[in-house]
Structure 1
Amino acid sequence: MNANASSPPSCTTMVPTAPCATTRSASCEGSTPALGGSVEARDPDAAVLLSALQTVYMDKLRPLEEKWYFSQFHHDAMTVADLQSKPQVLLLGQYSTGKAVMAGSEDRIIKGTALCLIDELPFTGLSRFGAAFLNHFEASICDAEILEHITFVDTPGVLVSGKQGDQRGYSFAHAVKWFADRSDMILLVFDVHKLDISEEFRQLIGALGAHAEKLRIVLNKAQEVDADRLIKVFGALMWGVGRAFKHKSEVPKVYVGSFWDGPKRHPDRRVLFQNETFAEDEALLRREMMQLPRNVGLRKINEMTKRAKLAKVHACILDHLRSQMPWYGAEAAQQRLMEQLPEVFTAVKRKYGFPDGDMPDIERYSVYHAKLN
């Protein structure tokens, strides 16, 4: 996935124990905010659209979110850097699947603690994960032309052990969700030599169901196995991923190939005819990535529309709950309302005409019932 370098860029990527981002700036020796890059410099037309979108959010939507504590239940308040940031690609997978090779190597490193203090970059919200996370999070300055328009976020490999949270010192699942909410494409990377999907990875994949339109599957190192083995591996992959996406009618598109710039291995010369198929998949994935900057304005409008719908539904739910609270005996009434949340959601849907697809996860309100006072 590495592109040939033509001028110094900046990149953000994740390290073995925490997420890392990869992006490009005007100069490797330039100021740190150059990591984010200027939208106007990248695309003047998109800059006008994003500026108008920023005005709408700051003047209309953000006050609604603050009034109804939207960030405590769903997403953090958006910053100017979030709205102006370049497209982001998130890579997820278990260890040694080739994610780091796809993201690229670094020329210079900027530590996570510094990144979270710079308002011009879209990483200030990561401070919530604490020092254990920030000590491992870093931005890598890389010499790759593609990074002028796209930021790659490389995650540490998902562990097979169920004690991952204790080993890392922060919630890996919550960190992944934070990045997934802000990513334009999410790549689930698998290795043909080890398709074992741990229970934790399966849960992580299932939790990304809300971002189904962003998900793509990469079966990497495909040219290192013979044709018969590849067919079996592909079938096992579809079965394993299908279990993780049991609530979806179909799994995301699968790209098959060897996604790195090194020489290809062919243990079975009979599969040489498949090289064209691999090359087509690799080129198709690259092409889809390169479309991200061109469609950044439309995607941000779509994301803002979904966010506005969720904020409206959220406000109506909390307003309904508040209207049911008595002047006295609030604690008992609150407990009763929490036990009747399904009925509350049904009443809100009927009153305001919300479709089922716009209703949020009911469990989220059960978990945060203490914040409904």
Structure 2
Amino acid sequence: MKGTVSICCFLTLLILQATAEEEEFSSTLRDRSHIDETLRLASEEKAADFAAAIQKLRKIYHTSIKPMEQAYRYNELRQHEISAYPGRTLGDSATDGEITSKPMVLFLGPWSVGKSSMINYLLGLSDSPYQLYTGAEPTTSEFTVITHGEKIRSIEGIVMAADSSRSFSPLEKFGQNFLEKLIGIEMPHKLLERVTFVDTPGIIENRKQQERGYPFNDVCQWFIDRADLIFVVFDPTKLDVGLELEMLFRQLKGRESQIRIILNKADNLATQDLMRVYGALFWSLAPLINVTEPPRVYVSSFWPYDYAPDTSRELFKREEISLLEDLNQVIENRMENKIAFIRQHAIRVRIHALLVDRYVQTFKEKMSFFSDPELVFQEIVDDPDKFYIFKSILAKTNVSKFDLPNRDAYRDFFGINPITNFKPLSAQCSYIGGCLLEKIEKAITNELPALLSSINSGKQPGLSSCEATGCGEKPKNRYRKN
């Protein structure tokens, strides 16, 4: 009996000792110097040049693009843009807040996979009073926007939506229930001077959409449309794909080049088990990501404590640095990306105006003294190909057929905006202001490429001639690594 008690005591001591060693090890903080070095947080940026470029970009938008938006009600077509124009879009009309906003990094994924811990780690907030709350249970129920500020403070969602300078005012359309689930956190941090983080509620597959009290998928789509980089985080225990996660990947269609898959908490597994989990993750995601080149997958443990013993420490460290380099590339190219997005937006506005103009001209040509206006226009909008609406745009202008919006979108568009409300493009000219079409075409072909060229060459931003700036140069591909 005494021998049994002694063995039990000995085993208990071993367990207590192992637990104490594990706690001591897990409390050892990891060296973070590579984060500052890779993201170049110690370097000083040319703030004056950046501000000058932003001012030029804002001026081009307000003088050459926004008037065309307003004249042809481009914002009324925006509800159809998800299907018509996959990829990042601006707001109904780009606000100054959107033009001047920093790159946005969005964190998505199942609950308790380490999204909030990863943000704490990148910002050095762990074990501080200001860290995002983390835990084994679902902890994040809000959309949390972490951005730069002169002092640490939290901002209610209703305040963020009311301030147009923050570029979050369009979120009001999702209702008060959502605004109660939106929170902003401002803090003085070097990284937040260059980027904004958005933490999202974890996906819980056994929860119905209506239980959230707001349109969760629509809100996710709003942030997806504006994100420059999207981290979809998994851990080895949550690789199953349910309806909510499947819906999320449908919303990410067309954004594969901006998605980065993160297999977090990788140091919890032995190397052989990690290889199996990596394969299982690809097997689960393969039906959801239908592209030739799959998104980049990072395998590491993104939290502030040291890696578990007997794991692939060097591999995890290299994977972490690679992810930081990806993030740094988005930060360094933010001005080029912003110019390219505004130019892409201007091209869409121009195509929309050309199509509306063609509808207006066709309607006037088919109308006679005895015609019924409603029947005439209904015939045109039901079968635009019969009247060569879209083909005429491709034939007469420098427009790609892949940039044309959905034909069905205009049936709803003209249902809200009667065709008699619009003037033809030839009538949108004034002696002082010039013609709207000429101004937006000049912005697309000359002014925005010139501004982009001045940024890439390191010159002071300006709107000089084509010979001086090489305005025929195409915008830099933000998705291709240098």
TM-score tier, shorter chain, comes to: 0.7 to 0.9
Map of 2:249 onto structure 1: 205
Deviation at 1:121, TM superposition (A): 1.5
* Cα shift readout 1:95-141 (whole Å, capped 9, x = no counterpart): 12211112232563210111122233121221121101111101023
- The match for 1:61 among 51, 60, 65 is 65
Q: State how 1:166-185 maps to structure 2 within 5 Å.
A: 166-185=210-229
* Cα shift readout 1:213-258 (whole Å, capped 9, x = no counterpart): 3222211111112223322222232233332222x32222111111
Deviation at 1:209, TM superposition (A): 2.7
TM-score by length of 2: 0.62
* SS state at 2:52 partner: helix
Q: 1:233 is matched by which residue type in structure 2?
A: V
* Cα shift readout 1:177-218 (whole Å, capped 9, x = no counterpart): 222222221111122211112233223223223333322221
Map of 1:259 onto structure 2: 302
Deviation at 1:44, TM superposition (A): 1.9
Q: 2:165 is matched by which residue type in structure 1?
A: E
Is 1:45 aligned to 2:83, yes or no?
no
Map of 1:137 onto structure 2: 182
Map of 1:110 onto structure 2: 155
- The match for 2:325 among 287, 299, 303 is 287
* SS state at 2:181 partner: coil
Instruction: Check the 8 A contact 2:110/2:238 in 1, yes or no.
Output: no
* SS state at 1:170 partner: coil
Q: Work out which of the two has the higher radius of gyration on C-alpha atoms and give 1 or 2.
A: 2
Instruction: Check the 8 A contact 1:4/1:145 in 2, yes or no.
Output: no
Instruction: Check the 8 A contact 1:215/1:252 in 2, yes or no.
Output: yes
Bigger mean CA deviation after superposition, 67-76 or 300-309: 67-76
Map of 1:157 onto structure 2: 202
Cα distance between partner residues in 2 of 1:79 and 1:236? 43
Map of 2:446 onto structure 1: none
Bigger mean CA deviation after superposition, 345-354 or 134-143: 345-354
Q: 2:344 is matched by which residue type in structure 1?
A: K
* SS state at 2:286 partner: helix
Cα distance between partner residues in 1 of 2:213 and 2:413? 23
Cα distance between partner residues in 2 of 1:260 and 1:222? 11
* SS state at 1:153 partner: strand
Q: 1:167 to 1:320 in 2, by over 3 A?
A: farther
* SS state at 1:216 partner: strand
Q: State how 1:210-221 maps to structure 2 within 5 Å.
A: 210-221=254-265
Deviation at 1:154, TM superposition (A): 0.9
* SS state at 2:164 partner: coil
Runs ≥4 in structure 1, deviation > 6 angstroms? 2-5
Map of 2:128 onto structure 1: none
Cα distance between partner residues in 1 of 2:212 and 2:411? 28
Instruction: Check the 8 A contact 1:87/1:184 in 2, yes or no.
Output: yes
* Cα shift readout 1:33-53 (whole Å, capped 9, x = no counterpart): xxxxxxx99722111111101
Cα distance between partner residues in 1 of 2:217 and 2:373? 34
* Cα shift readout 1:236-287 (whole Å, capped 9, x = no counterpart): 32233332222x3222211111111124335xx3xx2x22111111112122
Is 1:72 aligned to 2:117, yes or no?
no
Identity of aligned residues (%): 30
TM-score by length of 1: 0.78
* SS state at 1:97 partner: coil
- The match for 2:111 among 90, 95, 115 is 95
Q: 1:257 is matched by which residue type in structure 2?
A: S
RMSD: 2.9
Cα distance between partner residues in 2 of 1:208 and 1:4? 32
* Cα shift readout 1:63-83 (whole Å, capped 9, x = no counterpart): 111122222222421111111
Runs of 5+ unmatched residues, structure 1: 6-39
Q: 1:226 to 1:366 in 2, by over 3 A?
A: farther
Map of 1:306 onto structure 2: 344
Q: 1:52 to 1:259 in 2, by over 3 A?
A: same
Q: State how 1:330-345 maps to structure 2 within 5 Å.
A: 330-332=373-375, 336-337=379-380, 339-340=382-383, 344-345=389-390
Bigger mean CA deviation after superposition, 304-313 or 68-77: 68-77
Map of 1:245 onto structure 2: 289
Cα distance between partner residues in 2 of 1:336 and 1:103? 55
Q: 1:182 is matched by which residue type in structure 2?
A: R
* Cα shift readout 1:136-194 (whole Å, capped 9, x = no counterpart): 10102346542232110111123324731x12222222222222222221111122211
Cα distance between partner residues in 2 of 1:230 and 1:341? 55
Is 1:222 aligned to 2:266, yes or no?
yes
Instruction: Check the 8 A contact 1:242/1:250 in 2, yes or no.
Output: no
Q: 1:340 is matched by which residue type in structure 2?
A: D
Instruction: Check the 8 A contact 1:68/1:315 in 2, yes or no.
Output: yes
Deviation at 1:331, TM superposition (A): 4.6
Bigger mean CA deviation after superposition, 320-329 or 86-95: 320-329
Cα distance between partner residues in 2 of 1:61 and 1:323? 22
Instruction: Check the 8 A contact 2:232/2:259 in 1, yes or no.
Output: yes
Cα distance between partner residues in 1 of 2:269 and 2:115? 19
Instruction: Check the 8 A contact 2:307/2:313 in 1, yes or no.
Output: no
Cα distance between partner residues in 1 of 2:318 and 2:228? 22
Bigger mean CA deviation after superposition, 128-137 or 334-343: 334-343
Deviation at 1:301, TM superposition (A): 0.9
Cα distance between partner residues in 2 of 1:157 and 1:324? 51
Q: 2:237 is matched by which residue type in structure 1?
A: H
Bigger mean CA deviation after superposition, 137-146 or 307-316: 137-146
